[in-house]
Each structure stands twice: as C-alpha cells, then as structure tokens.
Amino acid sequence: MPIETALRLYDPSAQEADLLAVPFGADLTADVELHLPVPALLAHHEAKGEAGEVVEVPVAHGDAVRRVLLYGVGDASPRALRRAGAVVARRARGRRSIDLRLPEDAGARGWAALAEGALLASYTMKIGSGGVKAVEEIRLLGPEEARPAIERAEVAARAVGLVRDLANMPSSEKNPEWLAARAVEVAERSGLRSKVWTPDDLAAGGFGGILAVGQGSVSPPRLIQLSYEPADPDGTHVVLVGKGITFDSGGLSLKPTDGMKFMKTDMAGGAVVIAVLGALRDLGVRTRVTGLVAAAENMPSGSAQRPGDVITHYGGRTVEVLNTDAEGRLVLADALAYADDVLDPDTIVDLATLTGAIGVALGRDIGAVFSSTDDLAKELVEAGEASGDPLWRMPLIDDYRPALDSPVADLSNIDAEGTYGGGAITAALFLREFTGGRRWAHLDIAGVSRSTADDGIFTKGATGFGARLLLEWLSS
Ligand code: BES
Ligand code: MN
Ligand code: ZN
C-alpha cells in the first residue's frame, strides 16, 4: 500500500477532528477548556518537551470527550519536527482524522519536516491483516504561507512511499519485467520518456554484465531508462543509476538463508531512481535528469554464470567474476559505462545496496557517499543533512585498487585474496573504473535501506532512503 493518508492545510479555526495535537508551549485557551494548568500537567507527566514526547489529555467537548495531544518539539529543528510529526501520526492510527496544529515559528522547513514525518509514519505495508490502519486525514492547522513547503514535503514523502512499496514487494511478483512495467507507469503519469531494453536489446547493445547476472534466472533482465526534460532547463544534466536486483540469492556463490531472507529489497537503489524521476515535475526541478535502472534477478541454476567466468561489459572492458554474489557492481558497470558513452552527463550519481561491509562500517542510520570530487561529496552530505537521509563520506583509497587486478581480464569483481579488506571501498573502486573520469558519486545504501522495526518515520521493511536526499539535492 502506498501512503493512503490525506494531508490538508486548514485555517487554525477550522478544528473538526476528535483528536487535536498541539505543540508544547502553545497557547491552548483558544482551542479547549483545560481544567488543569499546562505547566503542572506537564510536570506531572515528567514531560520535558523533547521531540517524540506526547502527553495525552482528555477534555470535555460538549457531551463528548475529545483528546488533546501535547507534543514536544525539542529544539524545533527540522530533524526534531520530523520525529514529532511521526510520533503524533502514530498516535492517530485507527482514527478518521487528526487536527495537528503547526508550531507557529518553525518556518517553512520546520513545517515541511513535521508534515513529512507525519506522512512517512503513516505508511503501511499491508492493510487488513493485523496492524492498525493509518489515520485517514491529517488536518494541519497553520498559516497559509506554510502551503508551498507542505506541498513539497508531501511530494517527497509520497516518493518515499513508492520506494517502500516497490522494495517491499515479494520477488515472487517482482521480477525485472515487473519493475520495468512499474517504471513505465510512473513515466506515463509524470511526463517522462521511458525506454526498456529486453534481453535481445541488451545482447545487441553489448550489456554483458546485466546479461551475465540475469542468465541464471527464468525471469530475464531489463535495463530501464527514464528521462525528465524540464520546462525551464538550467543547462545541466544529471544521470542517476540504480541497482535493480529484484532478488539476490548470491547466484552460484549462494548466500546462506539468513543472508538471503531480505534480498527482495536489493533493488532499493533502482526504486529510488524511479520514484525520484517521478517527482521532478511536481517539484519544478530545472535540471535535466536521466534515470537508469539495471534490473536482474541473481539466481543459481544450470544456466547461471560461474565463478571464474569472464564477461565483457558495455564498452568492452572484461571482468573475471570470482564471486557471483558481487553482482550489483556487474549490472551497475554496464549502466555507468553506457551513461558515460551515450548520455554525456555533467554528473552521475549511483545508488546501490552494494555491500554488507558498509553496514558494518556505518550501521543502519547513515548511508555512505564515495566521490573523487570534493564539492559533489559536500553537496550530497549537505542535502543528506537537510533532508533527513544522512550520509557519511567514505574514501576511495587508490592503494586498494590492485585488489581488483586479474590475470585473465581487465578487472576482477572482488578482492579475491582478501588482502585489502574494506569491502565497500573496493566495490566503489570497481564502479569508478566505468565512470570515464566524469563527476561521479556512489551511494552505498545497503545498511540503511531496511528498518527492523516500526520506529519514528520508519515502518518495518524498506525505508526509502535516498529519495528525499536526491530530491533535496536536485531542487537546491
Ligand atoms: N546485495 C548484497 C549486499 C547487501 C548485504 C545488501 C546486506 C543488503 C544487506 C550484495 O550483492 C552482496 O552480496 N555483496 C557481497 C559482496 C561480496 C561477495 C564481495 C557482500 O557484501 O557480502
Ligand atoms: Mn550479492
Ligand atoms: Zn546484491
């Protein structure tokens, strides 16, 4: 299910719901008759006003009882307000509507963050079977000047919802053909051009990496391209490349069950590319953007690629495949080389659930950015901070490059001897070989693309990490 909750902005006098959320510290006298002084009430609950704190107060409302949620806003930063919005929306689950008063002086970014947090926390993976339905309508009460920021926040939140939907879809339904069909649907409703390479097209074009990874599956691979042409272009062209492995069993280098059970989300990077492209027109982005999703299912079978095979990528570089579980870099290599050869971008950014190693290095909260271009890394780190999809810059260590030398091909797909360590770094170095020296950044989102619990803006399952970050970067 996408985010089904409606979000609307109303004049503060237009209260209607039987649940009213008001920020700590706001004047309540206009809204409800409280028979207790607010400071004493908060002290009684030992509430300090931190973001995520909620004190619930039943109040008389004619003959009925209405509930007021006093919600903490912490330092009123976007980060705090995102969390506050999420917690309040969770408390409204199961209800038809909630009146949610915006903190008066939070400003456009703050209001947007509160609205975004409330919508993201209202995402539900499944309806009907267990779990409580998200609130049907969030009625934001605030000034008219908040409207543009809230509308943009809603576009971003719904893009995240689409990423979560695509990534949460079981691989029994989600194969490369299915993913391509969803991308084409998004293109049709968002004014994008689309192009899909079938296996024959891929063979004719020399996309040996995507074909090799997909050759063990009964569901053949696809390359998906979406193109956004702004009405008022600023003259720059960005290519976004996403890893679209619809299931990663590891191939013949088979994963154990524990390592495989969440691998339906191994196309999260590709889903971000699709959802971001789908939101650009609504945000009025002026950069030309092309999205590429390299989609394949990595399966073991009699037709699967074998460790030791040598494959030829788009553009002619050869790679010795020493581990079929290092498949993301193989499909991305083709797409990166194609972007460099044909699309002439000013900047390339790829996103991929590429390595377990990055989860070891940075954990589940912070994604990795690798780039040889300092200003691009800085832009992305800043967009991450502003959007709530935080990034940490990781190094491309040239001394580790010999890890990828092969005696039989231009490159090996892994550090076969394991002498260098730093698995996320050698993976990034591999990708760099296919970028033609262009301005490029690689986001390894393997650690952050899945949440283990319903918590704040996250619902258990896919997080949609990367969509808000890229939309922020492309619109600023
Ligand atoms: N899709 C995985 C990476 C991954 C791991 C994503 C955990 C999300 C959670 C990727 O294709 C993979 O299998 N990488 C290998 C690389 C290794 C064989 C060099 C890994 O990380 O073990
Ligand atoms: Mn793998
Ligand atoms: Zn993978």
Same-domain check for residues 233 and 84: no
Ligand 3 centroid to residue 329 C-alpha, Å = 9
Tracing tokens 């659930």 back to the chain, one arrives at 353
Same-domain check for residues 116 and 187: no
Among residues 271, 238, 246, 257, the alpha carbon closest in space to that of 328 is found at 246
Q: Is 221 within 8 Å of 176 (Cβ atoms)?
A: yes
For ligand 1, whether the C-beta of 356 sits within 6 Å is yes
Report how far residue 68's alpha carbon sits from residue 65's, in angstroms, rounded to the nearest whole number.
10
For ligand 1, whether the C-beta of 209 sits within 6 Å is no
Helix, strand and coil in the chain, % to nearest 5 = 35, 25, 40
Same-domain check for residues 188 and 130: no
Report how far residue 332's alpha carbon sits from residue 352's, in angstroms, rounded to the nearest whole number.
9
Q: Is 88 within 8 Å of 98 (Cβ atoms)?
A: yes
Give the total number of structural domains in the chain: 2
For ligand 1, whether the C-beta of 325 sits within 6 Å is yes
For ligand 1, whether the C-beta of 248 sits within 6 Å is yes
Ligand 1 centroid to residue 265 C-alpha, Å = 12
Structural domain harbouring 394: 157-475
Ligand 2 centroid to residue 328 C-alpha, Å = 6
For ligand 1, whether the C-beta of 367 sits within 6 Å is no
Can you tell me which atom of ligand 1 is nearest the CA of 265? 8
Sort residue 103 into left (φ over 0), alpha (ψ -120 to 50) or beta: beta
For ligand 1, whether the C-beta of 423 sits within 6 Å is yes
In which element (H, E) is residue 436 found?
none
Same-domain check for residues 135 and 207: no
Ligand 2 centroid to residue 437 C-alpha, Å = 26
List active site positions: 255, 329
Ligand 2 centroid to residue 307 C-alpha, Å = 13
Residue 212 phi/psi, 5-degree rounding, is -65, -45
Report how far residue 164's alpha carbon sits from residue 340's, in angstroms, rounded to the nearest whole number.
29
Q: Whose CA is nearest to atom 14 of ligand 1?
A: 355
Q: Whose CA is nearest to atom 16 of ligand 1?
A: 326
Same-domain check for residues 282 and 401: yes
**pLDDT one digit per residue (tens) for the chain, 476 residues:** 789 999 999 998 888 888 999 998 777 777 777 777 888 888 899 998 899 999 999 888 778 888 999 999 999 999 999 999 999 999 999 999 999 999 999 999 999 999 999 999 999 976 555 678 999 999 999 999 999 999 999 999 999 999 999 999 999 999 999 999 999 999 999 999 999 999 999 999 999 999 999 999 999 999 999 999 999 999 999 999 999 999 999 999 999 999 999 999 999 999 999 999 999 999 999 999 999 999 999 999 999 999 999 999 999 999 999 999 999 999 999 999 999 999 999 999 999 999 999 999 999 999 999 999 999 999 999 999 999 999 999 999 999 999 999 999 999 999 999 999 999 999 999 999 999 999 999 999 999 999 999 999 999 999 999 999 999 999 99
Last residue of a domain, one of 119, 142, 165: 142
- Domain CATH number, residue 56: 3.40.220.10
- Domain CATH number, residue 324: 3.40.630.10
What does the longest C-alpha to C-alpha distance in the chain come to? Answer: 83
Same-domain check for residues 278 and 387: yes
CB-based burial label for 283 (10 Å; 0-12, 13-18, 19+) = middle
Report how far residue 348's alpha carbon sits from residue 379's, in angstroms, rounded to the nearest whole number.
13
Q: Whose CA is nearest to atom 22 of ligand 1?
A: 356
Last residue of a domain, one of 114, 142, 170: 142
Can you tell me which atom of ligand 1 is nearest the CA of 253? 18
Same-domain check for residues 194 and 217: yes
Retrieve residue 439's tokens. 């301005």
User: Is 152 inside any structural domain?
Assistant: no
Q: Is 432 within 8 Å of 403 (Cβ atoms)?
A: no
